[in-house]
Every structure is written in structure tokens, then in C-alpha cells.
Amino acid sequence: MKKLIIFGLTDAAELALYYFSNDSDYQVEAFAVDPAYMPADKRFKGFPVVGFDEVPRIYPPDCYVFFVALGYSRLNQIRKEKYLAVKALGYEMVSYISSRASVLTEDIGDNCFILEDNTIQPFVRIGNNVTMWSGNHVGHHSCIEDHCFLASHVVVSGRVTIRESCFVGVNATLRDHVTIGANCIIGAGTLILEDAAAEGVYVGQGTERSRVPSTRVRNI
């Protein structure tokens, strides 16, 4: 069983601790964080916390593996920067792929976080440092490039390409054969029927409040 260091102290790190501890062959040993964010007691969820600058000395790369547990802040750039910093230190980066996901491809990069109920069809390619929250569908021959974040219940149809560092919100739908340019934000509930140029922001329409108050609705 390989010994694992997790970077981060956010909710994402707590979730990574849960998933790796309960559904993987890795043993969590400690957490790492930038020194400015070091907790006073140097502990997190019962585990030691070390400054990132001290990690190679205390937990050397030849004995430990690493996972960066960060969200999509600054359109995935913070997670990307820390991923590259850990790689530069010589650590093996590991992925978590839920045993409750239907994964029919082996072409998945490192430092990926793929949660339960994802369906990933044959011939899909997933890059490095990709987060896929629960319940997404990724159709055949699609490609999700490095540093992307897919929230829950996204539908990616067949032969879709999502370029680097995109965010795709809950319940978004991407038609087959479209390409999403790098650094796009695809908002919750969005329907994409054609290619999306790089750095685009696509926002779905929210439901408006009815003029009728709930106290006047008779059938509920």
C-alpha cells in the first residue's frame, strides 16, 4: 500500500481523505499546505500538516506519492500551479477513480478525481489534473484535456473535445462533435450546440420567480 500526501486543507482535501481512505489502495499519511495557511496546531482531521517547502525532506519522493486536492479557483489555475510544483519535486501523482464509476477507458491521466456514478464510455481520453464530480456522462471518443473541472450531471456527448482549464457547471449539456476552447466557463444548465471559442463564458437562463405567491397555490 503506497503512502499518500494530500495537498490542501479545504473541503476538497477532506473529501479526498474520505475517498482515498475508504476506496483505494493508498494510505493517507499527512497533509501539505503553503506555510501561510498552516493551522496553529499543525493538524488536520487527525493527521499531521507540513509546510510545502518541507515536504521533500520529511516525506521524500522515493517513499511517498502525492495528490493535489484543490477546486476550480481562478479557473483551475491554482490547482494547475500546485500540480506542476509537485511534479517538479519528482513525486508520483496519483488519481482517485471511484469503484462506483463506470469507466470503460484506461486513458486517464494523473491527479484526476473521478467520483461515483460517472459514466465514461470507450475511447474517451482524460488528461492530467481533471476533476469530475458525481454523476457525469462522457460519450465515446471524447477528450477532456488537462486541468478541467466538471461539476455534477454534465452530459458530454460523443466526440466532444474540452480544451485545457475549462469549468463545466452542473447539468450542462454538450452536443456531439463540438469543441470547447481553452479556459471556457460553461455555466449550470447550459446547452452547447456548436463550438465554443476560447475564454468564452456561457450562462444558462435561471428560472424566474412567479408573480403568484406560494400561499395562493391551491393544489400543493
Q: Is 46 annotated among the ligand-binding residues?
A: no
E-strand stretches of 163-211: 167-168, 173-174, 179-180, 185-186, 191-192, 201-202
Distance CA 62, CA 6 (A): 16
Sheet holding 143-144, edge to edge: 125-126, 143-144, 161-162, 179-180
Residue 30, sorted as left (phi over 0), alpha (psi -120 to 50) or beta, turns out to be beta
Task: Give the DSSP H or E segment for 16.
Answer: helix 11-22
Name the binding residues.
71
Name the binding residues for substrate.
71
